[in-house]
Structure 1
C-alpha cells in the first residue's frame, strides 16, 4: 500500500531543530512520507542564525518538477522562503499542481534573527495567500501581514479577519508572543472563530515550534482530517512536544517530535484544573519510571493517578490507560495519561479524598515482606486492610479497603497495603498529596533498598 505523502518547501536548519528537518520529523511521526524542496541553507545553532545561503532559483524549480513528475502530492507546506522570487515560484507551482498549500510565513527565527529579505511579506500577500488553504502567522508575522499592532486576543481576531480577506481559506493566528499565562491560538475560517488555550509551559523556549505546528497541520490534512480537528490535534501534539523538549545546546530547547509524543498528547480538557493536573502528573511520570526497580513492580503492573481538586468521579482523575510493566529486566510504560481511565486507582484516590481532600495522588507497587520492611524503616505512616473481611454487598473493594485502612490508622496513611486474596495479588499503595510527594516517598524506600 502506497503511503500518504506531503511536501515541505523551506530551509535547512543545521541544528536540526527547525526547518525541513523538523518538518520531516513531524511528517514521519504522523506516518506521512515527506518530500523536500530546499530553498536555502541556514548556518545556525540553537542560539543564533549566522548566515543564510539561498538555493539558486533554477534548482528550486527543478526540485519541485522532479518530485512532482514521480510522486503524487497534494498537501504542501512552506517555511523559509527568504526572498520574493521564491514565493513566486511556489505560487506558480501551487496553481499548476493544484496543491493544498499551508503557509508558515517565516520572517524571524526563535533567536530573533531575520529570516526574510525585503518585500517577502508583500509577495506572500500577493502571490501565495489567494491560493492557500491555511496560513499560520504568529503575532509579529500577523502584524507584518496586516500592518497593525496586536496586543490582545481581540486584536488577534481582527488580524485573522483581515488576513482572511486577502484570499486564504483559513487563518490560524498563534498567540504565544502575548506572554499571558495561557497561550491562545485562533482559527478563523471566514465565518467562525475557534480558540484553543493551553497553559504556557514554564522555562521552555521552543526552537522550531512554528515549523512543527504547520507540518503537523499539513500531515493531518493529508490524512483527511477536517480543519477543526486538524487544528485541535496539532495544537495539543505541539504542546506535548514542547513539554517534552530537551537541551542539545546552549540556546532554545529542541522539540521531542515522535509518534509516541503525539500519541501521549492530551485530548481536550474540560477545565483548567484538568490541564494543570495532567501537566503535573506528566512531569513526574517519566521520573518515576526511571527510578522504579523491577523488584517494586507487581505482576499486574503499576499505575499512578492524580485527581483535580474536589474530585467527585473517575472522570476527574488522570491515570495511565495502560500500566507500567516489567519487560525482562527493564521497566516500560504502556499507555498514555487520560482522565476517566482507571477505576482501580481512581477508587483509592476518591476514597482517600473523602477524609483527606488534599491527598489526591496514589500509586501501586509490589507487596512482599522485603518492601513492607523498607516502609517500616521510614518516618511515614502505614495501614492495611484484609480482603477476607470485605462485606458481600461492597461494590468497590478499593473504596472499602482504603476507607477501612484510614479508620484503622491514627493519622493519614502514607502507605496502604493488603496481603491479597484468592486470585488477587497482594499490593502496596503509596498515597500522596501530589505526584512529587508520591515520587519522594517512592525514592526514600528505593534508597533504603540500595543501602541494604
Structure 2
C-alpha cells in the first residue's frame, strides 16, 4: 500500500493518522506527502501542494493507494505512474474551519482517475463524481450517522462531540479493510465498528493510540500466559504461604488496573500449584503496586514477582552478580504500616532514592504479621522468571 496524503503537524489527521490506522491492521505502507499544511485541531492556516515526486522512482507498484488531501493534477500523476493500482481518494474541498482547499471542479476532474471516493454528504452534493463513491452523512442533523454506498445504507451512533480527523480515519479504515480483502460493503461495516470505538474514547481529535493501547493490553496478557508453565515448574521452590503473583504493567501504568497479573494470587497445596484466575487487569495485587512504585523511578522495569524468602536465594543472587537490597520493614512509620497497600511502595521509594538504579532482588526477613519475602524485578515476565530460576534451581 501507498499512503499519499497531506502532512498535518497536529497528528490528528493526514499522513500521520493514515499510517497509524494501517499499523493497526499489520499493514506497513509506503508513504509520500502530497501537501504541507499549517494547522492544529482548531485552526487551519495554509496548504502547499507538492508538484514533483522523486519518490515515485523508488517504488515500482502498489496494490492499493490511499489518497487524502490532494488535487486532480496529483491524482493524474498517480494514475499514470501506477496504472494497475486501486486508488481510493478522500478529497478535501473545505476544512471544518472553513478553509478552501480545492474547488469542486477539481474533485470532478480527479474522480476520473480513481476507483473509489469517500466524501461527506455536503461536498458530494456540490460535485459530479465519475466513479464509485461512499457518502458519509456526519454533517447531517439526524439522530444517526448515515453512510450510503450504491443505495445501500449503513448507520452509526452519533456522538455529541466534535473531533478533528474523523473523515481521514474513516477513509483509512475503509482502505485498510479493502487492502486485506474485504468487499466495499464489508469494509464499511467493519470500519464503522472501529470508528465507534475510536470516537467513543477520543477527546479533541481521533486518538488512534487508544485502540493500539488496548492491543498492547492483549500482549501483556499473552506474555503472562507464556510464563505460566515456568511458574508451575518453580512453584514448589518459590510460592510463599501468603501466595504469589507476577505482574506486568502497561507503559505509563498509574494504578493496579493498568497492570496485568493473576487475580487472587497463586497458591501451593502440597505439590499442586493453583491459579484462582487467568491473567487479567482487574483485582488487587501487592506486586502490581510494587511495580508501579518502581516504574516511577525506572519506567522500563515493568514486571515483578514475589517468592518465598530463603537466605541461600539471596546469597546465590549476589554470587551471580544481581543487585540485592535489604528492606528493613521495622523502620516503617506507623501511619504507613497501618495503611493497606502503602508499605511496599514506601519501602521501595526509600531504596531507589538510595541506590539511584534498579534493584533485581529486594528482600526482607519479615515483620510483625508479615511473612519474610523476596521481590524480583525486571523488564518483563520472561526476564523476571530467568532471575528466579537462576537463584532457586541448582546449576
Q: State the partner residue of 1:389.
A: none
Q: 1:109 to 1:259 in 2, by over 3 A?
A: same
Q: State the partner residue of 1:231.
A: 188
CA distance, structure 1, for counterparts of residue 279 and residue 156 of structure 2: 25
CA distance, structure 2, for counterparts of residue 195 and residue 290 of structure 1: 43
Distance apart, 1:90 and its partner CA: 2.5
CA distance, structure 2, for counterparts of residue 257 and residue 54 of structure 1: 28
**Secondary structure in 1 aligned to 2:126?**
helix
Q: State the partner residue of 1:299.
A: 264
Matched length: 242
Q: 1:229 to 1:109 in 2, by over 3 A?
A: same
Larger of the two Rg values belongs to structure? 2
CA distance, structure 1, for counterparts of residue 80 and residue 95 of structure 2: 26
Query: Is the 1:300–1:325 contact (alpha carbons within 8 Å) kept by the matching residues of 2?
Result: no
CA distance, structure 2, for counterparts of residue 79 and residue 107 of structure 1: 11
1:93 paired to 2:81: yes
**Secondary structure in 2 aligned to 1:111?**
coil
Q: State the partner residue of 2:208.
A: 256
Please report the TM-score for the alignment, with normalisation by the length of structure 1: 0.48
Q: State the partner residue of 2:155.
A: 197
Aligned with residue 75 of structure 1, among 61, 64, 81: 64
Q: State the partner residue of 1:178.
A: 140
1:236-263 superposed Cα distances (whole Å, 9 cap, x missing partner): 11221111113xxxxx434334554787
Q: 1:38 to 1:139 in 2, by over 3 A?
A: same
Q: 1:293 to 1:54 in 2, by over 3 A?
A: closer
Query: Is the 2:5–2:68 contact (alpha carbons within 8 Å) kept by the matching residues of 1?
Result: yes
Distance apart, 1:31 and its partner CA: 0.9
Q: State the partner residue of 2:172.
A: 215
Distance apart, 1:322 and its partner CA: 9.2
Q: 1:179 to 1:217 in 2, by over 3 A?
A: same
CA distance, structure 2, for counterparts of residue 115 and residue 24 of structure 1: 22
Query: Is the 2:256–2:281 contact (alpha carbons within 8 Å) kept by the matching residues of 1?
Result: no
**Secondary structure in 1 aligned to 2:17?**
helix
1:24 paired to 2:15: no
Q: State the partner residue of 2:393.
A: none
CA distance, structure 1, for counterparts of residue 193 and residue 172 of structure 2: 14
CA distance, structure 2, for counterparts of residue 30 and residue 261 of structure 1: 14
1:278-297 superposed Cα distances (whole Å, 9 cap, x missing partner): xxxxxxxxxxx968699xx9
Q: 1:173 to 1:244 in 2, by over 3 A?
A: same
1:284-320 superposed Cα distances (whole Å, 9 cap, x missing partner): xxxxx968699xx95299xxxxxxxxxxxxxxxxxxx
Distance apart, 1:11 and its partner CA: 0.9
Q: State the partner residue of 1:66.
A: 57
Q: 1:129 to 1:261 in 2, by over 3 A?
A: farther
Unaligned runs of 5+ residues in structure 2 are: 217-253, 267-277, 293-338, 341-395
**Secondary structure in 1 aligned to 2:173?**
helix
Q: State the partner residue of 2:41.
A: 46
Query: Is the 1:174–1:184 contact (alpha carbons within 8 Å) kept by the matching residues of 2?
Result: yes
CA distance, structure 1, for counterparts of residue 135 and residue 91 of structure 2: 11
Please report the TM-score for the alignment, with normalisation by the length of structure 2: 0.54
Q: 1:292 to 1:40 in 2, by over 3 A?
A: closer
**Secondary structure in 1 aligned to 2:80?**
helix
